[in-house]
C-alpha cells in the first residue's frame, strides 16, 4: 500500500516539473522579438552568404537557389533579379597568357559552368592527322603523332570551319611539314616544334591512287584540295601560322636517324580530346575573409604571423610602449589552410575564417592559342547560345 502511494507522489512531482518546464519554454518564446518581414535576421543572412571555416571542417556550405527559400520571412530569393542587380567582373591582373579577375554576384553553379566551357567547349586548332613518310627514331609512329597533337598552335580558330566529312581545304585544315635528319657520326639532336614548317598551299604528299594512268596526264593530287594559298588571306598575311612555342621537344634523334612527315591540324573542342583545350589550368575559388575579432598582441602576434604559410597576417605598432598587434594584411592570399586556428581554442575564438558564396576569384591560364580575355569572351558567347537554345526549345 505504501509503495503505491510513493509511486503516485513521484508521478505527480514529475508532471509538475514537466508543466513548469513547458511554462518556462512558452514564456521564453513569447518574449522573443518578431521576425522582421522583408529582410533576413543577421544569423540567417550570414549562413546564406558565407561559408564559415572551423578548425575541423567548414560549415554553412549549402546554397539556396530557389525563389521561395525565405518566403515565410517576406524575402524574395529571386536569383535572376539578384544576378542582374549585383553581377560584375573586376579584372585584377592581365598578361599575355594569364588573367585573374573577380566574378561578383554569381552562383557557384554558374561559375563552374564558365570553367567547364573554357576547358571543354571553346574550339581551337590541333594536329589530328599525321602522314609519316619516314621515321627511324626510337619513338613509335603513334606516340610521335600523339606528341604532335599536344603542341598548341597559335592561330585564331574563328577563321576556320569544322571539317566534318568535308574535303580538307584552306578553310578547315592547316598543314605542317617536318623533315629532320641527324647526320651519321654526329651528336644526338633534339627535334623541336620550331622545325614544323607551315605549308600555306596545302599538302605536298601525293595521294595514293590505283589509277596511275589518269594521274600521269593530270595535275598530281595531294591529301588536301586548297583552291588558294592560306598566306594570301588577310588574316594570315601578317600572322604566319606556327606553334605557340618553338622550344617544345618532339623527339631525340641519334646519328643516321630521320623523321619526315606531314601534320594536318583541324578545328575541334576539348570535349572530344584534351589537345583541343585552349587552357592549361583554369580554376576559381571563393573570396576568403579573415577577421580578427579579439586583439592578438606581442608574442602571440609574432607567433600568429610565423604560423601562416602564405603571410596573410602582419604586425603593427600600437602606442608608444612598444606593443605590437596582429593585423590582416593580405586576406586575398589566404588558402584557408586553418593553421592559424588550429593552435588552440583561444585563437579559434579570436580569428574568423570565412568565404563569400557569391564572390569568386577566377584565373585563366591560356596555352597561348588565344589571349585569356578572348577565351573568356568566347565562353560567355557559348553559354549565351546554350541559354538561347533552351529558351527556344521551351517556347
CA gyration radius, the chain:
33
Element (H, E) at 234: helix 234-237
Per-residue pLDDT tens digits for 87-110: 899 999 999 999 999 999 988 888
Is the pLDDT confidence value at 212 over 80?
A: no
CB 298, CB 15: distance < 8 Å: no
pLDDT in tens, 20-37: 776 777 776 666 666 666
Average pLDDT, the chain: 87
pLDDT by residue (tens digit) across 175-200? 999 999 999 988 999 999 999 999 99
Residue 230, beta-bridge partner list = none
Residues 20, 26, 28, 31, Cα dihedral to 10° = -140
| Joined grid coordinates for residue 118 | 573554357
91 neighbors 363 (Cβ within 8 angstroms): no
Q: Which domains does the chain have, with CATH numbers?
A: 42-81 (no CATH), 86-120+281-363 (3.30.1360.10), 123-209+221-276 (2.170.120.12)
Confidence class of residue 205 from pLDDT cuts 50, 70 and 90?
A: very high
pLDDT in tens, 338-363: 888 887 667 788 899 999 999 999 99
SS3 per residue for 266-314: EEECCCCCHHHCCEEEEEEEEEEEEEECCCCEHHHHHHHHHHCCCCCEE
Amino acid at each position: 500500500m505504501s509503495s503505491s502511494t510513493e509511486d503516485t507522489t513521484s508521478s505527480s512531482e514529475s508532471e509538475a516539473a514537466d508543466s513548469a518546464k513547458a511554462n518556462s519554454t512558452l514564456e521564453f518564446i513569447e518574449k522573443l522579438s518578431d521576425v522582421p518581414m522583408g529582410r533576413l535576421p543577421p544569423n540567417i543572412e550570414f549562413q546564406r552568404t558565407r561559408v564559415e571555416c572551423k578548425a575541423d571542417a567548414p560549415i554553412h556550405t549549402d546554397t539556396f537557389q530557389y525563389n521561395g527559400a525565405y518566403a515565410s520571412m517576406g524575402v524574395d530569393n529571386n536569383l535572376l533579379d539578384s544576378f542582374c542587380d549585383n553581377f560584375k567582373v573586376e579584372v585584377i591582373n592581365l598578361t599575355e597568357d594569364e588573367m585573374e579577375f573577380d566574378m561578383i554576384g554569381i552562383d557557384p553553379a554558374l561559375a563552374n559552368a564558365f570553367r567547364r566551357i573554357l576547358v571543354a567547349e571553346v574550339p581551337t586548332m590541333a594536329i589530328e592527322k599525321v602522314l609519316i613518310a619516314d621515321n627511324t627514331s626510337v619513338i613509335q609512329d603513334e606516340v610521335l603523332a600523339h606528341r604532335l597533337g599536344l603542341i598548341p598552335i597559335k592561330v585564331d580558330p574563328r577563321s576556320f570551319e569544322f571539317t566534318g566529312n568535308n574535303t580538307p581545304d584552306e578553310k578547315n585544315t592547316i598543314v605542317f611539314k617536318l623533315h629532320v635528319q641527324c647526320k651519321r657520326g654526329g651528336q644526338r639532336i633534339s627535334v623541336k616544334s620550331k622545325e614544323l614548317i607551315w605549308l600555306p598551299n596545302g599538302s605536298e604528299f601525293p595521294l595514293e591512287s590505283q589509277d596511275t594512268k589518269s594521274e600521269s596526264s593530270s595535275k598530281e593530287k595531294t591529301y588536301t584540295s586548297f583552291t588558294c594559298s592560306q598566306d594570301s588571306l588577310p588574316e594570315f598575311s601578317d600572322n604566319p601560322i606556327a606553334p605557340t612555342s618553338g622550344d617544345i621537344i618532339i623527339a631525340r634523334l641519334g646519328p643516321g636517324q630521320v623523321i619526315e612527315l606531314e601534320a594536318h591540324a583541324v578545328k575541334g573542342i576539348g570535349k572530344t580530346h584534351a589537345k583541343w583545350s585552349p587552357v592549361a589550368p583554369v580554376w576559381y575559388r571563393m573570396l576568403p575573409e579573415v577577421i580578427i575579432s579579439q586583439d592578438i598582441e606581442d608574442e602571440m602576434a609574432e607567433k600568429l604571423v610565423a604560423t601562416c604559410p602564405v603571410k596573410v597576417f602582419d604586425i603593427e605598432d600600437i602606442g608608444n610602449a612598444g606593443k605590437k598587434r596582429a593585423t590582416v594584411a593580405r586576406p586575398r592570399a589566404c588558402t584557408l589552410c586553418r593553421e592559424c586556428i588550429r593552435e588552440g581554442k583561444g585563437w579559434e575564438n579570436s580569428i574568423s575564417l570565412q568565404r563569400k558564396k557569391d564572390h569568386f576569384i577566377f584565373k585563366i591560364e591560356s596555352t597561348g592559342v588565344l589571349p585569356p580575355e578572348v577565351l573568356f569572351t568566347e565562353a560567355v558567347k557559348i553559354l549565351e547560345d546554350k541559354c538561347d537554345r533552351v529558351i527556344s526549345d521551351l517556347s
